[in-house]
Structure 1
Amino acid sequence: MLTRPSTNNNRNTAHMLTQSEQQPDSNKESMTRTEMHAFLDDALLELRQAEQISVTTYWQWSQTVLPHHTFVYMHKFTGKLVANGIESTVTRKAAFICTPGTSLELYSDADHEVELYIIHFDLFRVAEKTKERRIYERELGSPVTGWIQGPYYGIQRIAAQLTMEASQTSLKVQLLLTELLHMLWPQEGQSDAGEQDEPEHWLKSTLQYMRDNYMNEIKLEKLAELAGMHPSYYSQLFKSRMQKNPIEYITHLRMNRAKELLMTSDLRIRDVARQVGYRDEFYFSRRFRNHAGYAPTSYSKQVHRNVVSLSYPYTDHLMTLGITPCAAQIQGHLPHVPKSLTLPFHAYEPWEQGRQAFLDVNPDLILTKDNAAAKAMEHIGDVAPIITIPWNETDIFGHLQNIASVVDRTQVAKEWMDRHERKAERARKKIRETAGQVTVAICTLTAKGPRMYSNRNFGHVFYRSLQLAAPDRIQRELAGKPIGVGFNWMSFSPGEWDGLEADVLLIAVTSMHERAALLQQIAADPLWKSYPAVKNGRVHVIDWNSWVVYAPYSINIQLDEALSMLTNKASFL
């Protein structure tokens, strides 16, 4: 048992706790959102082990008595799971959580690829809490055990991050574990965690109608008719789902669109009013002041610091500018860890994050890439203005300048770019002195085959910061195109090296298992062995998760790594 002062940093010290154990409560019911928050607020989580298993042969694993809470996410698995002697067949993605003391066995079918994550952790609950101290005891029970219905994409993202951070005892590990438990534990009345935010048809159709017609007059009777309900009943039911009545929802849509126009255009107040559904600009101004706290004429001059980032590169940009988002999508290296949001990494992926997470942080504005703008408008268009920064129209420096203009940090952006150029020039000088003029090729391996990158994303540091030469075919593709936006990558087939030769080859991989398999393949494959950099032993394997972030803070870290690789004669092969 640990007695300790009551502070806000207690989640960093779970490893100090001893195990004065509480018996599990077998009668716990599904928790409401409030109860779940309270449960985790009074808990400490300690990651014991997190591992990723990736094999292509028969695989089995068993533990007679699990010493810790254990979560298994089966991303690719066909076989059997046996818990306390009860056998279940697994034929697709699946997730399972169990408490200490459980007997657990996993058996894959032969000749099926296996990719899964096993995460062991301990849970400690507050047994006594005063202003002076808190006493924690180990909790063996769990509000939820057994099969989990999803959301699988979010689960995989967090599981992968935990395996990467497993050796750390950082606050980030605590936050990731907490986020995972929030995702696994269903709320009261939910039958499928993967569908917890999917609205009923009547709600979905009327929300769409409001989003399409907010600039016109919308009557409650029309919405009720679309929903097939009496107006008063529809209004009550709508408020129970959206935390605001239909008229308030429409007003918030209009005001947020007005804020977007005021921040990103030079339109007159009269024109802004008309675009969002107000014919009288003076009436609009009064409503706007009541809603926003500022007159429309002064709104664009306000500094908005309570920002939500729906894009992990833009999270990096904001932090580079000295602004920590109140909530954000997270990937790669960051100086601080904001509240993580479960958001799609690509436009075609499902939206998993619930509205409540955004309502809880009460943002001044929401920042997103253009490919996620439609989904953001659909799910949270009434919560705050959504500022879209186009992704493919400009490069990393354009992104930084555009975001800086929105959050009033233009001078900070200029200072960062000046510092980065000075740092890059020092690196270029050192590489010229130690490695000379070398050509570099950067590729990633995808399910659709290898890709070789140009001067954006993975290639930015090498071709723009360090000004190294790309293979001839890459240079020909870049000719006449805008720098950083005209050409990103090209597919190629191993062995077809004409015009793709380089002195140094860098290959981005997503896991250590993939790295080992890749190096084995390159060593045995005559097509790869014919590549100049491979023949000369100048191949480096880089971490995809660190290098995929095309943003300032990450670029600086990548620059240090690139300098180390190119000035060190040792290679990974």
Structure 2
Amino acid sequence: MITEPNQCHNRIPSDAKLTVRPRGDANHINTQQPTRSTVRDELHQFLNHALVELRRAEYINTHQRFRWQEDELQHHTFIYLHRFTGTQIVDAGPSRVVRKAACLYPPGTRLELVSDADHDAELYMLEFDLFRVTEKTEARRIYERELGSPVTGWIQGPFYGIQRITSQLTELAHPDDETASREIKAQLLLTELLYMLWPEEHPRSAEEQEQEDPESWLKSTLQYMQQHYMHEIKLDTLAELAGMHPSYYSQLFKSRMQKNPTEYITHLRMNRAKEMLLTSDLRIRDIAREVGYRDEFYFSRRFRNYAGYAPTSYAKQVHRNIVSLSYPYTDHLMTLGITPCAAQIQGHLPHLPQSLKLPFHAYEPWEQGRQSFLDVNPELILTKDNATARAMEHIGDVAPIITIPWNQTDMFGHLERIASIVDRTQAAKEWMDRHERKAERARKRIRELAGGLTIAVGTLTAKGPRMYSHRNFGHVFYRTLQLAAPERIQAELQGKAPGIGFNWMPFTPGQWDGLEADVLVLATDNLHNPATLLQKLKNDPLWNSHPAVRNGQVHLVDWNTWVVYAPYSINIQLEEALSMLTNKPILL
């Protein structure tokens, strides 16, 4: 029996159920003795004749008491409570929520969320509309708004998949960016989410799961432990989930994970405690309870045995054996004078740490084996928020995983946040001071040699043509050199903080209305031959209408050099930009 925590929470009320609302239409759900295949077929039929439109996606992370209320939901509303302790009230019916939970409610529902005063709140809120086909002919299709929902109530998971999709949707949620590509991607993600939430009336048997995925027993029990580590977890429960005898399950688990289930859960708890010690102001008593220990003194003894430090002194320790799961954060660490023991690598770096084969985007397959992380024995793992769930899934027991949100702040905010965690705040300040002096010299040289310039900054990559603003590819031109952006970019930036709020917009090469500028810089990836691409663009009559094209001020640059939005790479980009804009090499 795994019995460490002596505090038990009810994450959702015992009488809460995930419900599928039956419909009278023959094309809708047949509730007569459903099988797994018919349930999935009915879901496919429902979504195949529906449109899903994202109306709002918001990520909320607050250290203050959170309260939100809607007397009548205007849209279908999905909420993923990643970290939340408090109460949810649905149509006047309250229920207690602790830690992870997810729910979906249709329009017309009265909904209220109130967090406890002494707990942080971290959650994602999605609002969307469903439209169903009411007439479908060769000539036309007519859609009407669907107020019912195929799934309602509490959702049982999988939370790692839910967080991945909700995080991607919040990245797409730019209110002024109503583009076709954004809408299509949002619809695909929302559809994937609904498939994920749809319940299976007859879940797969252990034999079926084994045939489809021989390691399904491991994935299901790991997911259970990662979602419930703050509660008492019995070995018999895990073995039952795996469909094995407890002794055999424990032996097989250890052969796969290099530790038995009890050790794995203890490591999960201690790593989550370390994360809170490094990133919050919670009292030891509260942290102990968050990870499942009622007795803070017992927790402190366990923590000291595991970490080698008392919880009260852990945050003061200097942590240098760091793994970076994000190539920008690898750059940040090296700017601060810390070489990660292993890292995702992209772009230019002063020297190279051990490279990890990690997904370039969070939704791509995880290639790196678990043993690679065990071999380097990290003290900390840094990641962006869109990869946190995947990291937890693979290596949540190996070391504390510190998430640095990507879109909530700019490059300078990332640097300051990482510096505070690794005790390099002074080094971050010194770099920013040096960078500002270098930037001022660069701006002065631009004014002397090129005068005032308007510049348009875009990419021609596999993601499609994009025109950038003050973040990522546009940072050096607009924020460092303080050059003017085209009219459409300036209009999009109105009322938005520098570096956040608006990143890029799609465009069609040749359609330049509002994107005219003195200089046009386009980044290309390895899928394009620059000479061939430029010749193709020159053959387009619309291309030749751009002022920069007429004036011979078009520059093609390598996307791999400009893709990293981080300090060391920004300095290299600055020197390349100066050489480009002044037609001569300049050393700063």
TM-score bracket, shorter-length normalisation: 0.5 to 0.7
* CA distance, structure 2, for counterparts of residue 279 and residue 347 of structure 1: 35
Identify the residue that residue 459 of structure 2 maps to in structure 1: 444
Q: CA deviation at 1:364?
A: 0.2
User: Pick from 458, 461, 474: which aligns with 2:473?
Assistant: 458
* CA distance, structure 2, for counterparts of residue 274 and residue 373 of structure 1: 22
Q: Which moved more, 1:217-226 or 1:394-403?
A: 217-226
Does the aligned pair in 2 maintain the 1:428–1:466 contact within 8 Å? yes
Instruction: Confirm or deny that 1:427 pairs with 2:445.
Output: no
**Residue deviations 1:220-252 (CA, integer Å, cap 9, x gap):** 111111111111111111000000000000000
TM-score, normalisation: structure 2: 0.62
When residues 376 and 427 of structure 1 are mapped into structure 2, their CA distance, relative to the original with a 3 A threshold, is same
SS at match of 1:290: helix
Instruction: Confirm or deny that 1:237 pairs with 2:237.
Output: no
Q: CA deviation at 1:527?
A: 1.3
User: Pick from 555, 559, 564: which aligns with 2:570?
Assistant: 555
Identify the residue that residue 246 of structure 1 maps to in structure 2: 261
* CA distance, structure 2, for counterparts of residue 551 and residue 494 of structure 1: 28
Identify the residue that residue 528 of structure 1 maps to in structure 2: 543
Q: Which runs of 4+ in 1 moved over 3 A?
A: 446-449
Q: CA deviation at 1:511?
A: 2.9
Q: CA deviation at 1:282?
A: 0.4
Q: How does 1:183-332 map to 2 (within 5 A)?
A: 200-332=215-347
What letter corresponds to residue 430 of structure 1 in structure 2? R
What letter corresponds to residue 225 of structure 1 in structure 2? E
* CA distance, structure 2, for counterparts of residue 199 and residue 464 of structure 1: 52
What letter corresponds to residue 400 of structure 1 in structure 2? L
Identify the residue that residue 374 of structure 1 maps to in structure 2: 389
What letter corresponds to residue 393 of structure 2 in structure 1? E
User: Pick from 506, 514, 537: which aligns with 2:552?
Assistant: 537
Identify the residue that residue 417 of structure 2 maps to in structure 1: 402
* CA distance, structure 1, for counterparts of residue 230 and residue 567 of structure 2: 38
SS at match of 2:457: strand
Structure 2: gaps (5+ residues): 1-212
**Residue deviations 1:367-390 (CA, integer Å, cap 9, x gap):** 000000000000000000000000
What letter corresponds to residue 217 of structure 1 in structure 2? E
Does the aligned pair in 1 maintain the 2:462–2:527 contact within 8 Å? no
Identify the residue that residue 338 of structure 1 maps to in structure 2: 353
When residues 431 and 512 of structure 1 are mapped into structure 2, their CA distance, relative to the original with a 3 A threshold, is farther
Identify the residue that residue 499 of structure 2 maps to in structure 1: 484
When residues 229 and 305 of structure 1 are mapped into structure 2, their CA distance, relative to the original with a 3 A threshold, is same
Q: CA deviation at 1:524?
A: 1.4
Does the aligned pair in 2 maintain the 1:453–1:489 contact within 8 Å? yes
Q: CA deviation at 1:494?
A: 2.6
**Percent of paired sites with the same residue:** 82
* CA distance, structure 2, for counterparts of residue 448 and residue 339 of structure 1: 28
SS at match of 1:526: coil
* CA distance, structure 1, for counterparts of residue 214 and residue 305 of structure 2: 30
* CA distance, structure 2, for counterparts of residue 557 and residue 369 of structure 1: 23
When residues 513 and 208 of structure 1 are mapped into structure 2, their CA distance, relative to the original with a 3 A threshold, is closer
**Residue deviations 1:533-569 (CA, integer Å, cap 9, x gap):** 0111101111100100000000000000001011117
Q: How does 1:1-16 map to 2 (within 5 A)?
A: none
* CA distance, structure 2, for counterparts of residue 251 and residue 398 of structure 1: 33
What letter corresponds to residue 551 of structure 2 in structure 1? N
* CA distance, structure 2, for counterparts of residue 558 and residue 304 of structure 1: 30
Does the aligned pair in 2 maintain the 1:310–1:328 contact within 8 Å? yes
* CA distance, structure 1, for counterparts of residue 248 and residue 512 of structure 2: 68
* CA distance, structure 1, for counterparts of residue 243 and residue 306 of structure 2: 31
When residues 408 and 258 of structure 1 are mapped into structure 2, their CA distance, relative to the original with a 3 A threshold, is same
Identify the residue that residue 365 of structure 1 maps to in structure 2: 380
Instruction: Confirm or deny that 1:475 pairs with 2:490.
Output: yes
* CA distance, structure 2, for counterparts of residue 494 and residue 415 of structure 1: 41
Identify the residue that residue 28 of structure 1 maps to in structure 2: none
TM-score, normalisation: structure 1: 0.64
For the aligned residue pairs, the C-alpha RMSD in angstroms reads 1.3
* CA distance, structure 2, for counterparts of residue 511 and residue 224 of structure 1: 49
* CA distance, structure 2, for counterparts of residue 433 and residue 267 of structure 1: 53
Identify the residue that residue 530 of structure 2 maps to in structure 1: 515
* CA distance, structure 2, for counterparts of residue 471 and residue 210 of structure 1: 52
Identify the residue that residue 509 of structure 2 maps to in structure 1: 494
**Residue deviations 1:189-216 (CA, integer Å, cap 9, x gap):** xxxxxxxxx8701111111110010000
Does the aligned pair in 1 maintain the 2:461–2:525 contact within 8 Å? no
What letter corresponds to residue 420 of structure 2 in structure 1? S
Count of residue pairs brought into register by the alignment? 373
When residues 199 and 362 of structure 1 are mapped into structure 2, their CA distance, relative to the original with a 3 A threshold, is farther
Does the aligned pair in 2 maintain the 1:477–1:487 contact within 8 Å? yes
SS at match of 2:542: helix
Q: CA deviation at 1:496?
A: 2.2
Does the aligned pair in 1 maintain the 2:461–2:524 contact within 8 Å? no
* CA distance, structure 2, for counterparts of residue 540 and residue 370 of structure 1: 34
Does the aligned pair in 1 maintain the 2:328–2:564 contact within 8 Å? yes
* CA distance, structure 1, for counterparts of residue 235 and residue 526 of structure 2: 54
What letter corresponds to residue 487 of structure 1 in structure 2? F
User: Pick from 367, 378, 381: which aligns with 1:352?
Assistant: 367
Identify the residue that residue 566 of structure 1 maps to in structure 2: 581
* CA distance, structure 1, for counterparts of residue 359 and residue 447 of structure 2: 41
What letter corresponds to residue 218 of structure 1 in structure 2? I
**Residue deviations 1:137-156 (CA, integer Å, cap 9, x gap):** xxxxxxxxxxxxxxxxxxxx
* CA distance, structure 1, for counterparts of residue 229 and residue 463 of structure 2: 42
Q: CA deviation at 1:347?
A: 1.4
**Residue deviations 1:78-136 (CA, integer Å, cap 9, x gap):** xxxxxxxxxxxxxxxxxxxxxxxxxxxxxxxxxxxxxxxxxxxxxxxxxxxxxxxxxxx
* CA distance, structure 1, for counterparts of residue 299 and residue 462 of structure 2: 53
* CA distance, structure 2, for counterparts of residue 567 and residue 360 of structure 1: 48
* CA distance, structure 2, for counterparts of residue 212 and residue 459 of structure 1: 40
Q: CA deviation at 1:523?
A: 2.1
* CA distance, structure 2, for counterparts of residue 279 and residue 513 of structure 1: 59
Q: CA deviation at 1:449?
A: 3.6
Instruction: Confirm or deny that 1:383 pairs with 2:391.
Output: no
What letter corresponds to residue 259 of structure 1 in structure 2? K
Does the aligned pair in 1 maintain the 2:510–2:540 contact within 8 Å? no
SS at match of 1:341: coil
Identify the residue that residue 154 of structure 1 maps to in structure 2: none
Which protein has greater RCO, CA pairs closer than 8 Å, 6+ apart?
2
Q: CA deviation at 1:448?
A: 5.6
* CA distance, structure 1, for counterparts of residue 436 and residue 214 of structure 2: 49
User: Pick from 385, 396, 407: which aligns with 1:392?
Assistant: 407
* CA distance, structure 2, for counterparts of residue 382 and residue 448 of structure 1: 35
Does the aligned pair in 2 maintain the 1:449–1:493 contact within 8 Å? no
Does the aligned pair in 2 maintain the 1:503–1:533 contact within 8 Å? yes
Q: CA deviation at 1:461?
A: 0.2
